[in-house]
Amino acid sequence: MADYDPSQMPDLVPALTVRDPRASLAWFEKLGFHTLGTMEMPNGEIGHAHVVRKGVHVMLGPACPTTEPGATGLELYVNLRDEDVDSLCDRARQGGVTIGEEPNDKFWGDRTFQVVHPDGYRITFAKHVRNVSEQEMQDALNQWAAAEATA
């Protein structure tokens, strides 16, 4: 991991267990991530990889006896600062990435879309598009909760 600089690491980096680290690296590249580094096992397989997209870091590696690949309730939320949600979604779709939720505006003021990693992880990309008052947010949350309760 030649580009690794511990002083630039965020305080928290999520780590995903995946079936195929090389395929996952290619998948993340379709979403604008680049590979910060990899560590290969003696057999040539990737034992650890680290991708970054602006300030967002994700580590990944293969399953081992104590872990299984796939979604376990973990989701990632990536904030976009100077990018358009709809454009990134279109690029991801064109790259063959499965879209889990189309771009839409959320009651808390973000416009989001969600992708699904081949192992089932869900990653939401969001851009803040409007400020919402506390009362407006609470009213919307109450409305959402009521709708969920009857679903």
> SS3 of 51, please?
strand
Query: Of 65, 55, 72, 89, which Cα lies nearest the Cα of 15?
Result: 72
Is-contact 115 98, C-beta < 8 A?
Answer: yes
59-104 tens-digit pLDDT: 999 887 777 788 777 889 899 988 999 999 999 999 999 999 999 9
Mark which of 63, 82, 107 sits at the end of a domain.
63
18-66 tens-digit pLDDT: 999 999 999 999 999 999 989 988 888 999 999 999 989 999 998 877 7
Mark which of 17, 48, 63 sits at the end of a domain.
63
Regarding whether 57 and 75 lie in a shared domain, the answer is: no
145: CATH: 3.30.720.110
**Residue 34 sits in which domain range?**
1-63
Is-contact 103 113, C-beta < 8 A?
Answer: yes
Cα–Cα distance measured from residue 16 to residue 48, given in angstroms and rounded to the nearest whole number: 10
Q: How many CB atoms lie within 10 A of CB 56?
A: 19
Helix ranges, the chain (H)? 21-29, 85-94, 134-150
Report the alpha-carbon angle 119-59-18, nearest 5: 20
